[in-house]
Amino acid sequence: MTAMVMPGDEDVRVTTLPSGLRVVSERMNHASTVSLGVWIGAGSRDEATNQHGLAHLLEHMAFKGTARRSARQIAEEIEAVGGDINAATSIEYTCYTARSLEEDLPLAIDVLADILLNSSFAADELAREKGVILQEIAAVEDTPDDLVYDMFMARVFAEQPLGRPILGTPETVGSFDADAIRAYLAEHYTAGNMVVAAAGAVDHATLVALSESAFAALPRSAAARPIHVPASYTGGETRRVVRTDQSHLVLGFRGAPFTGGGHYPLQVLATVMGGGLSSRLFQEVRESRGLAYAIDAFHWAFTDTGVFGIGAGAAPKDIPELVRVAMHCLRDAGQTVTEDEVQRARAQMKVGLLGALETPGGRVEQLARQVLTFGRVISRGEIAARIEAVTAGDVRAAALGVLASPPTLSMVGPKIRPGDLKLADLTASGAH
């Protein structure tokens, strides 16, 4: 068993158990509750074609009964002590979380271990939960501002696991049985691919002892970073015509992964472009032209790739002009971003970061994801220094870099008149 203190965060502890399971915690002296979770380095991009939606179904089924507890008992035992329990599936991770008082940490860990190691996957529960997920899929289809992002990712990473919707499809979800779930568990839910994390009112030595006992039956494997199916940006265009009063669009370009140094300039660029009332897109699209109520920019980084994008909703007649203005703003950023803009963006990012980490729930997620992705916890000071090191030149270069990639355009709404908006127009060098 190895343990270490992370420099810059003296209350952070990381221990690797002999099984390969990593345990990370941060004592937050102001907190009276503890946020706890188990993170697995596998999400929707780790599914084979015939497993599409299986990671999400497994997350749902974990709460539907074990050899020791019924679904009702799982909920009642945690809530009887004032706590709560939840789970989430993302593209690269799956997590199971709980919150409780410090004295109820043994119960919280026992329940999490029970649902991860002893779930029964009863046929009647599986049938019911498939129905619930089919309703989730239908809800996305009925929500244009959600659907447009699913379509966007499917076009950005065409025919690749990274681009598939997390929920799966009615066909794939309907095909899964208990054996398929157990096979996915055996492949991905191993000690070295998992992290137990806690933040708040927690003692690290106690957490380690409880984790070692509760997760003793986990299949052993060496602690390592998750290995995901490699992804490649493709780009292109996808549109769906629906009868709505507003059109929703996402315009995107190739981004950068978490590693390699390109992530932070693109995050600053996203803030300069769409982060707040002073951002370029808000001022030009909303304030100067009144083309949209809301418009934002984002950079989504993954372990091996990333995507930069702009999202908005607008009246159908205004969509062509909105896209042209957004492209002009991005091209202009590649030439004219100033140090004042970058300083403002850096300040916004640092306040947002530190604000999110003031709560046990925000901190525990960051701890777990950093240990899985980087094999260590990155201190607040190191993150702040990396943000502060980004210059206006870096941001201008980042803007020019994304523009050098093929664009991606995703739209949901009434049909745009032929000729009003073509993907080829987005690569033109002229400004609006």
pLDDT score at 427: 63
Task: Enter the DSSP assignment of 349.
Answer: H
Banded pLDDT at 352 (limits 50, 70, 90): confident
Backbone φ and ψ for 253, nearest 5 degrees, come out as: -150, 170
Banded pLDDT at 312 (limits 50, 70, 90): very high
For the four alpha carbons of 227, 228, 229 and 234, in that order, the dihedral sign comes to negative
Beta carbons within 10 angstroms of residue 11's beta carbon: 14
| CATH 3.30.1490.20 matches 236-427 | no
β-pairing verdict for 408-413 and 306-314: unpaired
pTM over 0.85: yes
Banded pLDDT at 5 (limits 50, 70, 90): very low
pLDDT score at 10: 65
Task: Give the CA distances from residue 103 to residues 12, 108, 109, 201, 364, in Å, rounded to whole numbers and listed in that order.
Answer: 20, 10, 12, 9, 18
CB distance 137 to 170 below 8 Å: yes
- Listed residue (77, 160, 155) closest to 115, CA to CA: 77
Task: Quick: pLDDT tens for 112-122.
Answer: 999 999 999 99
Residue 419: pLDDT over 90: no
Per-domain residue ranges of the chain = 2-214, 236-427
State the residue for tokens 């939840």. Answer: 86
Fold held by 2-214: Cytochrome Bc1 Complex; Chain A, domain 1 (3.30.830)
Same fold, 2-214 and 236-427: yes
Strands (DSSP E) contained in 216-374 are 236-241, 247-254, 295-301, 306-314
As a whole number of angstroms, the distance between CA 308 and CA 265 comes to 11
Residue 56: pLDDT over 90: yes
As a whole number of angstroms, the distance between CA 416 and CA 432 comes to 19
Check residues 425 and 221 and name the one with the higher pLDDT.
221
Catalytically annotated residues: 59
Task: Enter the DSSP assignment of 122.
Answer: -
Task: Enter the DSSP assignment of 219.
Answer: P
Q: Which residues contact 270 (CB under 8 A, 6 or more apart)?
A: 297, 298, 299, 308
Tell me the one-letter amino acid at 120.
S
Task: Quick: pLDDT tens for 118-175.
Answer: 999 999 999 999 999 999 999 999 999 999 999 999 999 999 999 999 999 999 999 9
Query: How many angstroms separate the first and last alpha carbons of the chain?
Result: 61
Banded pLDDT at 21 (limits 50, 70, 90): very high
What percentage of the chain carries pLDDT values higher than 70?
94
Mean pLDDT along residues 59-83:
95
- Listed residue (252, 412, 237, 409) closest to 316, CA to CA: 412
pLDDT score at 377: 94
As a whole number of angstroms, the distance between CA 173 and CA 50 comes to 10
The tokens describing 279, both together, are 């951002």
